[in-house]
Amino acid sequence: MNADNIVVAAGAPAAAELRRVLGHFATGVAVIAAHDGTRPLGFTCQSVVSVSLDPPFVSFCPAKTSSSWPLLREQGSLCINILAEEQSALCRQFAVSGADKFAGVAWERAGNGAPALAGALAHIEVSVELEHDAGDHTVVLARVGDLRATEGGKPLLFYRGGFGGFTA
C-alpha cells in the first residue's frame, strides 16, 4: 500500500477516541537524537518498534509537526536512547518544542556521532533507511548499528498519558 491508498473512512473515530483507546497500549519511551556538527538535537518518542532481526531494522514515527525531525533526518545517523525509569523529567524536557532540550543533560557522542544520553537503559545507533508517508506522521525505518544495554536497569513506561515503572 502506498500513501495514496490511505483513506479516512466515513465514521472514522475522533482523534480523542483514538488517543484514549490506543493509550491502553503501554510502551517504553525513547529520546531519538542526532548531532549536526554544532549542536545536539532530539525529541521524545514512544513509537519505537523492533521490526527485523535480519537485516536489523527498527521503526519509529515522527509527527509532521516535529521541528526536530527534519534536522535529525538531515544527519541520518541517530541514537535511540531508551529511557530508564527515573528519567521521566528528561522525557518531558525532550517533548517541549523549541526548548533548550539538552540543558543540564549529560551526554557523549556515540560511535556514529549521535548523542548518547547518560543513564539511558539502552543506546541503539541507527541510520535512516527509508521513510513512508503516514497521515500526520512519517514511518521511519532505520538500520541498527552498534547497540548496548544496561543489564539490570528498569524501563520508563508510558500508559494512558502517565509514566510508571515495570514490575515483573
Ligand X SMILES: Cc1cc2nc3c(=O)[nH]c(=O)nc-3n(C[C@H](O)[C@H](O)[C@H](O)COP(=O)(O)O)c2cc1C
By CB under 6 A, name the binding residues for ligand X: 29, 43-47, 61-63, 66-69, 91, 94-95, 97, 158
Give least dist CB 54 to ligand X, A. 25
By beta-carbon proximity to ligand X, the closer residue of 102 and 158 is 158
User: CA nearest 118: which of 14, 31, 4?
Assistant: 31
The smaller minimum CB distance to ligand X, of residues 68 and 112, is found at 68
- Shortest distance in whole angstroms from residue 27 CB to ligand X: 8
Cβ-contact 110, 124 below 8 angstroms: no
Of 92 and 148, nearer to ligand X (C-beta) is 92
Q: In the complex, what is the shortest distance from the CB of residue 133 to ligand X, in angstroms, rounded to a whole number?
A: 14
Which lies closer to ligand X via its Cβ, residue 107 or residue 158? 158
Q: Which SS3 state, helix, strand or coil, does residue 117 take?
A: strand
One-letter amino acid at 30 equals A
Q: Which is nearest to 46 in space by CA: 99, 107, 91, 93?
A: 91
Least distance to ligand X, CB of residue 158, Å? 4
| Grid coordinates given for 50 | 523492533
Element (H, E) at 20: helix 15-22
